[in-house]
Amino acid sequence: MRIPVVFATDENYLFYTSVAITSMAMSADFDTFYHIYILVDTKFKDENHLLDKLQNRYRNILIELFLVNEVVFQNVIIHNTHVSKATFYRLVLCELLSEAKCLYMDGDVIVTEDLTELYEMDLGDCYLAGCRDIWIELLSDGEREARRIRTGIPSMDQYVNAGVLLFNLDLLRKNGMGRVFKRHLNIDYPYEDQDILNVCCYNKILFLPAKWNLFTLFMGQIQEMEAAGIEPAVCHAFTQRKGILHYATPFIRPWIRKSCWANREWWQAAYEWKSEAIYKRIQKQVDENERRNHWEYYEDYCQRYCKIVIFGYTEYGKEFSEWVKNTKEIRNLVFCDNDPKKQGLNYKGIQVKSFENVMRDVMTNRGNETLFIIVSQGKKELIKKFLLENGIASEHIIFYKRKGEDYYTYLDKRCYKWELQDILKKENIDLRITSCFDQEDIKRKFQNDSRYHGLIKKYYMKKWLMKE
């Protein structure tokens, strides 16, 4: 079975697209052959020769590069920062390819099954087939209506996510839909070309089984999906993780965090590129991000310095100071804040000083280096710039990366044990409770022992550890 598959990419996204193609080639049946069309602009350069390496590595694929005239898309309106102009290229597929139909996939996916079943679906008189957008399904009636009005579509009931699509190219060509799509390019749609496809193809869209576009965002939210009335078959597909996994949510993508749902599966596919410099660079960045998510990183830094300045007398700063006290004596801790109303205050023996007074201490104790920890989450770069301009070396400045509700909500269940250990260590609580990790046993202990009740709220445990 020969299956034409299309990706649209650019230099910034090429490695992730290569991982998607890798997973597809590795999951193919013996008699499946993928003819892969890659849409790029005329300035595209594959400096790492990833496409050549893909072609040489797998005998069940043929890669063909298509150069797209980007001038056509120069005035498109983009609202979502993770979207590039390349995603609009799929709108002209019926003009570029001579295929009767084709599969289209975003580059932020991995394929875990052969795609013959998907490709052979009968499109009938539909222009395309896609999976229901779960985001739309989970909106309230009022939110759905507001979105419908904003998009200008008769109903949201047929709305599909455009990350994985089966295109009826013959019918699109026959009815001149390429020209129709182009007329919508400069309309201000909130979800860019995805809205264009749903608006222009309305009443000509077929639904695919949910497994062909599994948003990893929802893989740990089966209960919430069931409560919202999502069909049982859809919920079941998300528990199976078989088909196409779609890493569509920017802040939990595998190349940002390893510890989110199904991200381990992406890294297993990416491991095929382990000898490549680009793989090593991305892995190093992600490992560093993950390291900064754990208390050991801050503990190690604090133990290296004689004096620690927590920049920002805020709730986050107070929270951080409580943990640091388990590592450092209070006399070596100080708050720094530029707000005169806060200067002179005292929090559990830790003074709040002006930057001038802090710098006077730093100059007095020159030779005994001082560590500056910036606890602000929104203005951290501005504060760092201020410190650098006032003579503090970059290597003596670190950011406190606070883990909020989103961090815990999307935490992979396979990471619960070491996450709990990190919390207990930070809070100076005996780690033996996690020695033989049994989640149900841990939940009972936390529910029945009042010492842990504060932790449940503080670390959003109802979103992960205490979840049914």
DSSP secondary structure letters along 97-158: ---S-EEEE-SSEEE-S-SHHHHT---TT-SEEEEE-HHHHHS-HHHHHHHHHHHT-S-STT
Of 279, 266, 158, nearest in space to 216 by CA = 266
Other Cβ atoms within 10 Å of 15 Cβ, number? 21
pLDDT at residue 257 in the model: 93
Predicted local confidence at residue 439, as pLDDT: 85
β-pairing, 350-353 with 370-374? unpaired
For the chain, residues classed under CATH 3.90.550.10 are: 2-285
Provide mean pLDDT across the span 312-339. 88
Task: Give the model confidence (pLDDT) of 347-373 as tens digits.
Answer: 999 999 999 999 988 887 665 689 999
For the chain, what percent of residues have pLDDT higher than 90?
68
pLDDT at residue 78, rounded to an integer = 72
Q: Which of 243, 256, 313, 332 is nearest to 289 (CA)?
A: 256
Interatomic CA distance for residues 375 and 355, integer angstroms: 15
Supply the pTM of this predicted model.
0.89
CATH 3.40.50.2000 is right for the domain spanning 2-285: no
- Asked whether residue 389 carries a pLDDT value surpassing 90, the answer given is yes
Pick 13 or 369 by higher pLDDT.
13
Q: What is the pLDDT of residues 256-287, one digit of tens each?
A: 999 998 999 999 999 999 999 999 999 999 99
How far lies 384's CA from each of 151, 365, 367, 374, 378, in Å?
Answer: 41, 21, 21, 8, 12
Q: What is the pLDDT of residue 457?
A: 92
Mean pLDDT score, 163-169: 97
Contact assessment for residue 107 and residue 270, using Cβ atoms and an 8 Å cutoff: no
Q: Which residues contact 271 (CB under 8 A, 6 or more apart)?
A: none
Q: Which residue type occupies 114? A: D
Q: In the predicted model, what is the mean pLDDT of residues 454-466?
A: 92
Sheet with 109-111, strands from edge to edge, namely 109-111, 244-246, 214-215
Which residue intervals of the chain bear CATH 3.40.50.720?
295-399
Q: pLDDT by residue (tens digit) across 91-105?
A: 989 999 999 999 999
Which amino acid is residue 9, in one-letter code? T
pLDDT tens digit sequence for 50-96: 999 999 999 999 999 988 887 777 777 777 666 677 888 889 899 99
Looking at residue 445, what is its pLDDT? 86
Q: Give the mean pLDDT of 391-418.
A: 92
Q: What is the dihedral of CA 341, 345, 351, 352, to 10 degrees?
A: -10
What's the whole-number mean pLDDT along residues 217-241?
Answer: 90
pLDDT at residue number 83: 65
Q: How far apart are CA 432 and CA 416, in angstroms?
A: 15
Residue 221 has a pLDDT of 87
**295-399: which CATH topology?**
Rossmann fold (3.40.50)
Give CA 139 to chain center in angstroms: 21
Is pLDDT larger for residue 230 or for residue 81? 230
- Residue 190 pLDDT: 82
Residue 306: predicted pLDDT:
86
The pLDDT, as a whole number, for residue 41 is: 87
- pLDDT band of 170, cuts 50, 70, 90: very high
Mean pLDDT, residues 151-172: 94
pLDDT at 17: 97
Mean pLDDT of the chain: 91
Q: What is the pLDDT of residues 96-146, one digit of tens each?
A: 999 999 999 999 999 999 999 999 999 999 999 999 998 888 888 899 899
